Every structure is written in C-alpha cells, then in structure tokens.
Structure 1
Amino acid sequence: MSDILIVDDERDIRELIGDILEDEGYTTRLAGNSNEAMAEINAAPPALLILDIWLKDSKMDGIDILKTVKRDNPDVPVVIISGHGNIEIAVAAIKQGAYDFIEKPFNIDQLLVVIRRAMEASRLRHENQKLKRRETVAAEMKGDSPAFRVLLGQLDKVTKSNGRVMLAGPAGAGKELAARYIHMHSARANAPFVTVNCAGVAPESMEGMLFGRETADRGIEPGLLEQAHGGVIYFDEVADMPLGTQSKILRVLVDQQFTRVGGGDKVRVDLRVISSTNRDLAEEIEAGRFRQELYHRLNVVPIAVPSLEDRREDIPLLARYFIEHCHKTQGLTLRELSEDAVALLQTMVWPGNVRQLKNLVERVLILGDGTGEIEARELPQDAATGGEEEGRIVLSGILATLPLREAREAFEREYLLTQINRFGGNISRTASFVGMERSALHRKLKSLGVVTGAKGGARIALFEEESVD
C-alpha cells in the first residue's frame, strides 16, 4: 500500500509534493483544510500522512489532526511540515506520535528520504503483525472426543458474532488456545490479538499497561487497549485483575473509550473482549474480590473448556501432535508412541491438563536417547517428584497394605475403571481391550460393585455403543 495523504493549506505546496511523489510511484490524495483532511482519513486511512502544522481557516490545526489520527489510526505514520518551525513545535509533534518533522522550505531529497523511512517502518510493523497472526494460525485445536466436539461447536458459533465470551476451565486446559481460535475464525482475524496476563502484572502497573501513559518527557505511550484497537483484547485469568482496574475496565466496556494515565483526551477503541478464569467467579463476587457488574458484562457467552481428564480419548492424538510440533520447531527426533505408552498416558492423572501433557512429551523427547517407539518405561511415573510437570499412575495407592484377596479386588476394580475411563465409558471397547466378552465384563463389574450406567463410584458415565443392544 503506497497511498499518501498530503494536507497543506497552500495549494501550490500540496500539488508540488503530490506531483513529486506520483513521479516516485506513490498514489496521493490532497486536502487543503482540516475538514477535507478528516473526511479523507475517515473514508480510508492512508499509508502515510504528510501534515502541515498551520492550516488557515480550519477548525483544527496540524497538532489536533495528529492527535486524532494517532488516537484512531495509531499505525499511520505522520510526517509534519511547517514554515514556522522551531524546536518546540518539533518536540511537541514527536511527543504526540509524529514520525518526523521537516521545516519549510524543505529539500525534496530530504523529504523523499523521510517518506521512504516512514513507509519502511510502517511495512515492518505490518510484517510483525502478520508474523504474530501466523503464530495464532499455527495454534491448532486438536481433539475428537465428545467433550472436545461440544467445545468446538460452541467456539464455532461465537466466531460469527462480536459477543463477549467468558472461557472457564482449569489451568492448562487450553483457554487461551480457544480464545485464539475464536479470533482466528472471526471477521477480526486480520486485526491484533492482545493478551493481558492479569495474574502476571503488579496491581500498581496494571492501569498504565492497559490504558497507556502521557508524560511531558516521553509523550504518548499507547497501552494494550489501544494496541488491540479493531481486534481482540484477551483478559487471561480475569479474576486476578485489581478491583480498582475492574471499575475502569467496566467503564471502557460501556463507553468504548478511556483516558490514558496522565492524559486528558478521550481515546476511542473498537474491541472484542474475551476473558478466561480457572476460578468460580460467583465465589469471587461473594468474597468481594470481583465486581458483579463487570462479571455480567464479560459473561455474555459462557463456555466451559474441559479438562484433559474429561477428554482422555484425545490424549494419543494430542501426544502425537506435540511430538510432531517439537520435531518441527526444535528439531527433536520424530518418534512414534508404542501401544503400551499410549495406554499408560491414558491412565495417568493430569492436574496440569494439556499443558502438562505437552511438557511431558517435550521432556521425553529431550532426555530420550532412542529413535524408535517411545516405550511406557520412558514415561515419568513418580508423582511425588514432579507435581504438575509429571503424571502419576492411577493404579497405585494402598494396595500393599491390604490382604491379597482385598488387594486383588481393589486392583481389578481400579484397573477396570481406569480402562473404562480411558475409552470414555464405552463398555464394548473396554471389553475388547482387556480381552473379555462384553457380558463377562458386565458380570465382573457387578461383582465389584460397579453398576453399568451409574456415575457414583465409577466417576464416569458408562454407555453402550449405539449399534449394540
């Protein structure tokens, strides 16, 4: 894009600059006053704005236009020109966000150099945004379990609107990935996706980070809300947002504008808001740690992101995806998973959810010295040493303290429940894996005190395949 808007109250000057730039291959538009300038900008923001400071018979001078452009179209570079230039005007223009300042009468070669540099800086900014969006595209949603399909169906529905979404689920379950999926498949896919890590920012720094700052020394420093203009602002773990900031964010959601810290001008923003939490916000409201009004504003469309425990059938697919990802991004050996390793992964406890599985796969690939299949013995099996970074085996506990008969029954019960859980409650698939007839498995479950179809002690819902009576 090489569209340049030239704003100058002297017709000869703006036409001269326009002719020169068109000879250089640029497309130009001309405006002689602030009304014409704002009409052109509102019709289509230019790739670059050349702006005279003093505009005769205009409601706004160049600094006023500069402030407006930087508020509504912060990515547009602005080159200021003036025949009354002095160091104070130059400093004021740069502080308000101008790329550079050129004094009349200007040297044509100097003007062209500044314009090329400004256009290149703008191009690099857009390239950087494209790279960030490419990272978002690379973040794929993977799964085929019933719980995952329900989640994906809900996400697909909300991509078609601008409604605010609240993603609730345990840490590591993939809430940010779900937020990026919404953004990637929405009409705002080419606009920014900006994450606010509410738990990782000190309360005293939160407002400056969100709203930006205006100071005499450093001028305008846009905050995350301005950076997300036109796109999505994602509040990660919103329950950790300070109460004082919550009130101001509520006002932004109502008015779609705010004032920078230390500033006086209103900044308008067009944002879609997606939030996430791993806490019960009703409890947070009851405890006085979260504002009920903000909750209702953010929780327009609530979506539950399932834990890995609720989608065990996806574990083999996810593990293989992470193996391929580590191979492509880190050059780690591309290995297959053995059947024993798959079975073990599906019977492990995952308090850290999908993030924990990803970390485990990466660790095995880094520490492993083999090139063949990943065997079960290579997977970490000691929960005491790893916390959320390790998996622990479900088939453990107090068996060693029980008499043989009780230990055998406890083992069989735990083993069968683990396999049923592994296959999502499907009795036929479980029977096939454990090497039993389906009717024999039913009898065994009954003898162990497990009733088919009851949730109770099984902690899962058992069901038959629809094709089997």
Structure 2
Amino acid sequence: MAYDILIVDDEADIRMQIAGILEDEGYQTREASNSSDALAAVANRQPSLMILDVWLANSEYDGLQILEIVRRDHPTLPVVMISGHGTFDMAVNATKKGAYDFISKPFKTDVLMLTIERALSEARLKHENESLRKLSPYAVLDDLVGKSAAIAEVRRGIDKVAQTDSRVLIAGPPGSGKGAVARVLHSRSLRKDGRFVVLTCASLTESTLEAALFGVEANADRRRQIGVLEEAHGGTLLLDEVADMDLATQQKIVRVLHSRRFQRIGGDNWVEVNTRVLATTSQDLTELIAAGRFREDLFYRLNVVPLQVPPLSERREDIPLLATYFMERSAAAKGRSPRALSSDALTALQGHDWPGNVWELANVVERLLLMAPGGPQDPVRADAVATAIGSAESTVSRWDRAPEVMGLPLREAREAFEREYLVFHLARFGGNISRTAEFVGMDRAALHRKLKGLGVAASNRVKQDVAD
C-alpha cells in the first residue's frame, strides 16, 4: 500500500513534476497551492509526509508558518521543506521549527527521493517501536519461533492470508503470542511498508476508546488528535482484545468497516481511510454474542479468516527454542551475556504447564538471567528453574502422586512412574512417538507396546509422525 504524500507549492508545474516523480515510485500524492488548501488537506486525512515550499504566493501563511501549525497539531508528521531562494539561515530556521530536512530548488531527483525515503523510514520505525511496546516480547519477530506441528499450522494459515487484504480474527489464550501472529501477518503483507498500529482495547475506558479509534477534532482549547484508524491508513491496524470494546463503539466500527470512512469526535469532515484491520481475542466471542455483550455483525466482519493460536502447553517442543530466544533478547536489552540453559533446565521448563503462556516463559527466562546461581559462564540448572517459576506453583520439582505411589507394591509403583514419565516426555515432544522413543532409549514399536500396556490413551499418541 502506497504512502500518501501532500505536495504544497504555489507553482503548478513544480507540483506536477514532484507528483510525477513520486507516483512513478509507487507513492500516492495530493496537492495544494496555498495554506488554506494545505491545512484543509491535512484535516481531511493526515498524510504520511508533507513536501512544503517556503514561499507561497496568494497564501495566508507562508511555508514556515504552515510548518509551525503542522508541528503543533501533528507532531509526528514529517515535513520536508523546499525553496528556490533558500539560504543557510532559512534551512537552519526550518529545522529548528521541526522540519525533517531542507532541499533547495532546482533539486536532484535522487536527493529528493533519498530524503523522502529516510524521513518515512524513521517515522515508521518510531511509530512501530511505540506500537510494539504494547505487545508481548514475542511480537517483535518477523517470524514465529518454534518447529512444533501446532505452530506450523499457524504458519500455514498466515501464508494463505498474509498477502490478501482480508480481515483476520486471531484467537487464543492470554499470552499465547496473538500479537506476534498479527505482526507476522503485517510484515508479509503488501502493506508491509505501511504502519503497523496497535490499539489495546483493554487499556482504554469507554470514554477514551472512541477518541483513540476515531480521533478528536481541534477547537479553541485543544489541537487535533489523530485516531489509530487514520494513523494506519495504508497499513495495518490491530485491535488487541477486541472483546473489551463497549457495544456503542462496536456499532461505529461496523459502519467504518463497511464504508471505510468516519468523522473525528467533534468534527464535520469525513475522513476516508484504507486500512487493513486485524483483531485478537482471548475470549469466546460466540458466548459473548449469546450474552448480548458483543455484536454479531461485528463478529462476522472481523472473522473473515479465523486463526487459532495454541497455548504453550500444546507446543512444549518449542520451549527450548523460545527460551533461548528470550534469554538472548533479555541479555541484549540489559547489556549482559546470555546464560546457557542446561538440558535438565530445558526439560524442567518443558515440564511446567505455563498458564501464562509465552509471556510467562519470557518473564521466567529474564528472572533466570538475573537471579540464577552461578556466574555468566555457568549454565542454568533445573533447580533454578523451579525457583524462578515458584515452588508453590511448579510442576517441575515435585510429583503429585509420590505419596500415593510410595504406598504401592514395587511393580505397581514402577508402572505408575513409567506411565507418568512417558506421558511427560510425549507431551514434551508434542506427541511425537519417534522423538520420544529416541530420547527414552526405546524402539518405536516397543514404545507403542509399552504405552498400550500402561493404558496410556491413544489420544496421547496420535501425533507420532507429524514432525518426523
């Protein structure tokens, strides 16, 4: 999706020349010849970038005055100043007032394009860094960490829909990586050069959610506030935890998704946008619809393509890769050397049920980096994992059936232990019989017979060949 660039110059041939150059490079352009037209164009929809001439004939304000107004009301909008009579002092003054750069006419095409590309790139990175801070540590990736069958299924869904403009509803338990899936969808889409904007619905009240979505028009007491629908024009908007929207706002979102236009709060102008909308939810929306807390028409508009993100307990074989990733990421963020995770530590991590999913794993690994006994060169051990998880909640350092088994005859106690041991490692390897057999040192056929003899349900063994 192309960027939207506003060209402000009083000379029609200059506007036409710049527009032709930009459109040949795939940009969308709008034009204005004076301050009133320029400010009206910004009010109709904030552009991605403004190219602004200093001297404007038949205009209420000159370019530097327009720059001051734009920087006051739209501080994130990059502005490139141009002039045929530019001086060093003028360029310094323009940059002090907030211009990204100053280019003298006649300009070279490659200089203009390089300046625009740098300005757009910096603005996009600043915006995306701010948006990604609202998501999990896992959401900064351009791919999903893991090799399990469960995450492979998610990847296949992404591959099918990423380069379409279809809306996607991403469901899964809290902390499972729904934001990461949304980020990957955007990074592989035709809109990847546009903005990825996140609205965390759960963090907003009923009164602030609508303003965050649609923006607020300026008046004598406040400057114009741009909403996320407008910010994401040409890119992707993620409605994170969409079930937390109130019903009145849901109704307005339905209308926006149908018409692709809206009015800012307190405004009369219609703002037209071309934004791809993704949504996440950790709640069952069909149950909320039945309870009258979520609009059915909004559900069907968002749920064009459903993607289900599995809990971490269903993709335990991804835990070593995820733990290593989080260790390296946390160490880099804190200026430390990453700690190696011993094989018994990784097994311990795989043994936990992870009710907080990927977020919980990220927090535990950071705790291990900071608190695990030993120096930077010493590997983290399983006992440190149990401590980091919390011994009262850990399934790593104890076996719930131990007191019961201690009262059994040896043969029955051995069978109980074998059953628990094999079920644990089956879960650890995602139900893969071949990998489980290799780890426990058994032939695959023998393992099948052993599981059957121990009464392990067939449902625990159906994935034997998925990852072979």
Q: Same fold (TM over 0.5)?
A: yes
Using the TM superposition, give the Cα deviation of residue 126 of structure 1 relative to its aligned residue in structure 2, in angstroms. Answer: 4.5
Letter paired with 1:298: L
Aligned to 1:348: 352
Aligned to 1:329: 333
Aligned to 2:462: 462
Question: Which residue of the other structure, out of 260, 279, 289, is the alignment partner of 1:285?
Answer: 289
Aligned to 2:147: 144
Letter paired with 1:120: Y
Deviations along 1:240-292, one digit per CA (max 9) or x if unpaired, are: 11111101111110010000001111001110001011111100100111000
Letter paired with 1:239: A
Using the TM superposition, give the Cα deviation of residue 305 of structure 1 relative to its aligned residue in structure 2, in angstroms. Answer: 1.0
The secondary structure found in structure 2 opposite 1:258 is strand
Using the TM superposition, give the Cα deviation of residue 202 of structure 1 relative to its aligned residue in structure 2, in angstroms. Answer: 1.1
Using the TM superposition, give the Cα deviation of residue 115 of structure 1 relative to its aligned residue in structure 2, in angstroms. Answer: 4.8
Question: Which residue of the other structure, out of 297, 301, 309, is the alignment partner of 2:313?
Answer: 309
Aligned to 1:130: 125
The secondary structure found in structure 2 opposite 1:428 is helix
Using the TM superposition, give the Cα deviation of residue 317 of structure 1 relative to its aligned residue in structure 2, in angstroms. Answer: 1.3
Letter paired with 1:300: V
Using the TM superposition, give the Cα deviation of residue 333 of structure 1 relative to its aligned residue in structure 2, in angstroms. Answer: 2.5
Deviations along 1:141-162, one digit per CA (max 9) or x if unpaired, are: 2111111111111111111101
Question: Which residue of the other structure, out of 220, 236, 239, is the alignment partner of 1:235?
Answer: 239
* Structure number with larger C-alpha Rg: 1
Using the TM superposition, give the Cα deviation of residue 381 of structure 1 relative to its aligned residue in structure 2, in angstroms. Answer: 5.4
Matched, 1:428 2:408: no
Matched, 1:120 2:100: yes
Aligned to 2:417: 411
Tell whether the 8 Å contact from 2:170 to 2:280 is kept in structure 1 after alignment.
yes
Tell whether the 8 Å contact from 2:149 to 2:467 is kept in structure 1 after alignment.
no
Q: Which runs of 5+ in 2 are unaligned?
A: 78-84, 102-115, 133-138
Deviations along 1:291-320, one digit per CA (max 9) or x if unpaired, are: 000000000000111111111111111111
Distance 1:467 1:85 in 2: 69
Using the TM superposition, give the Cα deviation of residue 354 of structure 1 relative to its aligned residue in structure 2, in angstroms. Answer: 1.4
The secondary structure found in structure 2 opposite 1:320 is helix
Distance 2:463 2:60 in 1: 80
Using the TM superposition, give the Cα deviation of residue 69 of structure 1 relative to its aligned residue in structure 2, in angstroms. Answer: 3.8
Tell whether the 8 Å contact from 1:66 to 1:98 is kept in structure 2 after alignment.
no
Tell whether the 8 Å contact from 1:382 to 1:392 is kept in structure 2 after alignment.
no
Change (3 A) 1:42 1:212: farther
Aligned to 1:29: 14
The secondary structure found in structure 2 opposite 1:152 is helix
Matched, 1:200 2:211: no
Deviations along 1:56-109, one digit per CA (max 9) or x if unpaired, are: xxxxxxx245222443343334578576859xxx79x93895899xxxxxx975
Change (3 A) 1:302 1:112: same
Choose 402-411 or 138-147, whichever is displaced more: 402-411
Tell whether the 8 Å contact from 1:45 to 1:76 is kept in structure 2 after alignment.
no
Aligned to 2:104: none
Structure with more contact order per residue of length (Cα contacts < 8 Å, sep ≥ 6): 2
Aligned to 1:72: 45
Tell whether the 8 Å contact from 1:399 to 1:407 is kept in structure 2 after alignment.
no
Tell whether the 8 Å contact from 1:348 to 1:394 is kept in structure 2 after alignment.
no
Instruction: Count matched residues.
Output: 420
RMSD over aligned CA atoms reads 3.9
Aligned to 1:172: 175
The secondary structure found in structure 1 opposite 2:224 is strand
Tell whether the 8 Å contact from 2:217 to 2:223 is kept in structure 1 after alignment.
yes
Distance 1:130 1:288 in 2: 40
Tell whether the 8 Å contact from 2:331 to 2:369 is kept in structure 1 after alignment.
no
Q: Which runs of 5+ in 1 are unaligned?
A: 9-13, 16-27, 54-62, 101-106
Over the matched positions of the two proteins, sequence identity in percent amounts to: 38
Deviations along 1:339-363, one digit per CA (max 9) or x if unpaired, are: 2112222221111111111111111
Taking structure 1 as the reference length, what is the TM-score of the superposition? 0.77
Tell whether the 8 Å contact from 2:241 to 2:280 is kept in structure 1 after alignment.
yes
Distance 1:411 1:85 in 2: 85
The secondary structure found in structure 1 opposite 2:315 is helix
Tell whether the 8 Å contact from 2:6 to 2:47 is kept in structure 1 after alignment.
no
Taking structure 2 as the reference length, what is the TM-score of the superposition? 0.77
Aligned to 1:94: 69
Tell whether the 8 Å contact from 2:172 to 2:281 is kept in structure 1 after alignment.
yes
Change (3 A) 1:82 1:151: same
Aligned to 2:109: none
Tell whether the 8 Å contact from 1:395 to 1:414 is kept in structure 2 after alignment.
no
Matched, 1:52 2:56: no
Tell whether the 8 Å contact from 2:437 to 2:444 is kept in structure 1 after alignment.
yes
Distance 2:437 2:28 in 1: 65
Tell whether the 8 Å contact from 1:431 to 1:438 is kept in structure 2 after alignment.
yes
